[in-house]
Structure 1
Amino acid sequence: MIRVTVSYAAREGARFDHAYYQNRHAALIREHLGAHGLRRLEIDQVLSDAAGNPAPVVAAAHMLFDDVAAFQAAMTAGGQPLMADVANYTDIPPQILISQVHVAYEG
């Protein structure tokens, strides 16, 4: 299983519409990637770092897929509308990380 994290760096004066991201953009992700291998979607509105200071990112999406090939196939099939929608909620360029998921504890 892999996790694709799309995050948005905190920047002075940057625009980010959390309501749009959590509702409309998340719905687009489900619509365009759901039939192409998306297993799970989580949306974060980042509040602070562990010390209560402003966080280095304002928001993130975490998407789980079986493997990198499944993610790439999903983005080929449905990624264009998602990328075109970014300007509707932010002027911050998205940063994408792909991680291998290893479950160390499940309570």
Structure 2
Amino acid sequence: MSRDATVTIYVTYEGKAGARFDRAYYVDRHLPLVMHHWSRYGLVEVAAFFPAEQQAGTLAICECRFRDEASVDAAFTSPEAPAVMADVTRFTDIAPRRVRATAL
């Protein structure tokens, strides 16, 4: 697999300092759930990033690497996608935003 063929999706959560975001649940439960459901469609890696200090703005970033564009589409339209999305309310009230990144 060529790294150039991979597609990166960043999922960000923006909010006020102190907004409900359960980091432990996100890392220990949600991300494994995402990998479990979407690895069969071509998700190859997930990673979570948090700001060094709690402040308003970006509270969390998830980097999702997919094998290719078809993998992204397959995962987000899969029968498992509703379960992945429904799990979001277990760790936050913030609506996630998705951004496709391209290498420069």
The interval holding the TM-score normalised by the smaller chain is 0.7 to 0.9
The equivalent of 1:80 in structure 2 is 82
Consecutive unaligned residues of structure 2, counting only runs of 5 or more, are 1-5
Aligned pairs for 1:89-100 (under 5 A) are 89-100=91-102
Deviations 1:56-87 (A, max 9, x none): 21111110113322101012123111100010
Task: Report sequence identity in percent.
Answer: 33
Give the TM-score normalised by structure 1: 0.81
Q: Point out the more displaced range, 66-75 or 81-90.
A: 66-75
**Letter aligned with residue 71 of structure 2:** A
Is this contact kept in 2: 1:46–1:55, CA < 8 A?
Answer: no
Distance 1:68 1:97 in 2: 13
Deviations 1:18-59 (A, max 9, x none): 0000110011011111111001111112224xxxx8362111
Q: How many residues align?
A: 98
SS at match of 1:39: strand
Root mean square deviation, CA, Å: 1.8
Aligned pairs for 1:1-107 (under 5 A) are 1-12=6-17, 14-48=19-53, 54=55, 56-77=57-78, 78-102=80-104
Give the TM-score normalised by structure 2: 0.83
Shift in Å, 1:12:
4.7
Shift in Å, 1:98:
0.5
Is this contact kept in 1: 2:12–2:62, CA < 8 A?
Answer: yes
Structure 1's consecutive aligned runs of 4 or more residues displaced over 6 angstroms after TM superposition are none
Q: 1:5 to 1:65 in 2, by over 3 A?
A: same
Shift in Å, 1:88:
0.2
Consecutive unaligned residues of structure 1, counting only runs of 5 or more, are 103-107
**Letter aligned with residue 98 of structure 1:** R
